[in-house]
Amino acid sequence: MGIYLNPGNRGFWESIRSEIYVDKTGLIAETNKCINTEQKFLCVSRPRRFGKSMALKMLAAYYSCGCDSEELFAGYAIAENPTYKEYLNRYEVVFLNMQQFLIEAASGKVIEYLEQEVLEELNEEYGTVLKGRRMGLAAAFRKIYAKTDKQFIFLIDEWDCVMRERQESEMLQKQYLDFLRNLLKDQPYVALAYMTGILPVKKYGHHSALNMFWEYSMTNQFAFEEYTGFTEDEVKGLCEKYDMDFALISSWYDGYQFRKFQHIYNPRSVVAAMKNRVLSSYWTSTETYEALKVYMDMDFDGLRSDIVQMLGGGRVRVNIQSFQNDMQSFRTKDDVLTLLIHLGYLAYDSREEAFIPNKEIIGEFENAMSVSGWPEIMRILKASDKQLKDTLNGDESRVAEGLDRAHTEAASILTYNDENSLACAIGLAYYSARKDYRFIRELPAGHGFADIVFLPLPSVKKPALIVELKYDKTAYAAIQQIKDRQYTQALEGYVGEILAVGINYDRDNVNKPHSCVIERMKKQ
């Protein structure tokens, strides 16, 4: 067992003996399909603390020869797969943590240091094959393969740290990409290459060194969706085991969406919430909000408007194709939003729309705005407690006045003035309601879609709110639509009081553009 060559199974052993371990060994069945095929180069990128390193430790334990991992995998999903015994502990594994090499290498000589370290272990194992002359790492692997017919599985952790942490050094980045291409591309000794990081690998400027990789990222995980985070069923099981409120956990940590799995949870935060029995911002606490603030404050036309739209509970269409997959080559607002998707600050769905996934992340946006140039939005958020209180008290005139202020403040940033603008302003005006309510835009209801619904969390003793918006009509017409289209019937499983809130925005009424009507209803 070595540091880089066949690192063994201790990492996976520690994972499964932890208090909370969710079985993700099904991932191995997917990688087994790719061994010695045209799809053998995999780049699986995810945000920080989404289990990337844990997955690599699992793969190392499964594939590494020189150790017996059968007992460790017994009882887990992969043990039932037909390919399980075929590949178990059958390959030479090379495990590279690029973060380690970047930190330890002297004066930026990352590649030289990496080759020196790995060659030292290869010489210990294959000294008789490699003796006679000095050679680079790729040449050494070729010679080993030629003499022994042995293939290798390469597992690369933090593959993109050179790009993220040495953004200014184009020479180092190019040298690194050339090294990976020479090490992996078209080499007969490669049975599988699985690398993971935060960023995809598609392109860096004009240098397409790693075009042999198949990408699985936060914009599309394809077959790896289930292994990106915790699924809904997995979280329900943990909530039952730890006697935690599933609805509360969902509001805090759910929100990432893919094509098949519509509910993917942040694994780090779910585990911390279960262990501590306290809901808090665990994932965001591992990195300062200053990192998010830098991107929010970038001067791209429409960026601030899109962020405000998402803060108000909306979604924005994003073109992910122009993103250069680095952290400095930004040309449009879409490039910035795409980076925030890969970093985990935004979620992305099959309709090519981005949105803020959950309560944990929206709190991070609020923190970033509080120390930045967003005073208009912060004024709306700070007034939202009063807005909710006035609504629950049925004070229609005060609610209308609050909406006047919120809409005016939001309009100073938004690039449009229509029903979407009004819906965004209302989402911001009731921002504080998200502490006690599940906030839903465009809820399918009766014979249409309810504009905005606030559904109280199970432990909250407050009425549900159905908010219907009208433009240049009347607030009474909004109330009537709630009744006629039976929107209350959409609140499945909810029993109790409902406040129907009708809001109208009258563009011609300069002095009082917003009007509000509130009616109390009951759902048995």
Quick count: other Cβ atoms within 10 Å of Cβ 157?
21
> Are the beta carbons of 347 and 246 closer than 8 angstroms?
no
Q: What is the pLDDT of residues 217-264, one digit of tens each?
A: 999 999 999 999 999 999 999 999 999 999 999 999 999 999 999 999
**Environment class of residue 76 by beta-carbon count within 10 Å: exposed (0-12), middle (13-18) or buried (19+)?**
middle
Residue 269 has pLDDT above 90, yes or no: yes
Average pLDDT rounded to a whole number, residues 375-380: 91
Residue 202: per-residue pLDDT: 63
Average pLDDT rounded to a whole number, residues 519-524: 87
Fold of 10-217: Rossmann fold (3.40.50)
pLDDT band, residue 82 (cuts 50/70/90): very high
Beta pairing class for 353-355 and 347-348: antiparallel
Spatial separation of the C-alpha atoms in residues 19 and 385, rounded to whole Å: 39
Average pLDDT rounded to a whole number, residues 430-448: 87
Residue 329: per-residue pLDDT: 82
Average pLDDT rounded to a whole number, residues 100-109: 87
Spatial separation of the C-alpha atoms in residues 165 and 456, rounded to whole Å: 43
pLDDT band, residue 444 (cuts 50/70/90): confident
Which ranges constitute the DSSP H helices of 150-231?
A: 161-165, 170-184
Closest to 443 measured CA to CA, from 349, 313, 346, 321: 313
Residue 340 has pLDDT above 60, yes or no: yes
Q: Which residue has the tokens 């929206």?
A: 362
In this prediction the pTM is: 0.93
Q: What is the pLDDT of residues 452-470, one digit of tens each?
A: 999 998 889 999 999 999 9
Residue 382 has pLDDT above 60, yes or no: yes
Label residues 385-411 b or e (16+ Cβ within 10 Å = b).
eebbebbbeeebebbbbbbbbbbebbb
Edge-to-edge strands of the sheet including 190-197? Answer: 92-97, 152-157, 190-197, 41-45, 214-216
Residue 204 has pLDDT above 60, yes or no: no
Higher pLDDT, 350 or 133: 350
Residue 292: per-residue pLDDT: 87
Higher pLDDT, 512 or 314: 314
**Cα–Cα distances in angstroms (integers) from residue 469 to residues 37, 340, 428, 480, in the given order:** 55, 31, 15, 11
Residue 492: per-residue pLDDT: 81
> Domain spans of the chain?
10-217, 229-373, 374-524
Spatial separation of the C-alpha atoms in residues 53 and 50, rounded to whole Å: 9
Q: Please give the mean pLDDT across all residues of the chain.
A: 91
Spatial separation of the C-alpha atoms in residues 485 and 469, rounded to whole Å: 14
pLDDT band, residue 203 (cuts 50/70/90): low
Average pLDDT rounded to a whole number, residues 75-81: 97
Torsion angle of C-alpha atoms 374, 375, 376, 380, degrees rounded to 10: 110
Average pLDDT rounded to a whole number, residues 3-18: 95
Q: What is the pLDDT of residues 472-511, one digit of tens each?
A: 899 999 999 999 998 988 888 888 999 999 999 988 887 7
Spatial separation of the C-alpha atoms in residues 460 and 274, rounded to whole Å: 20
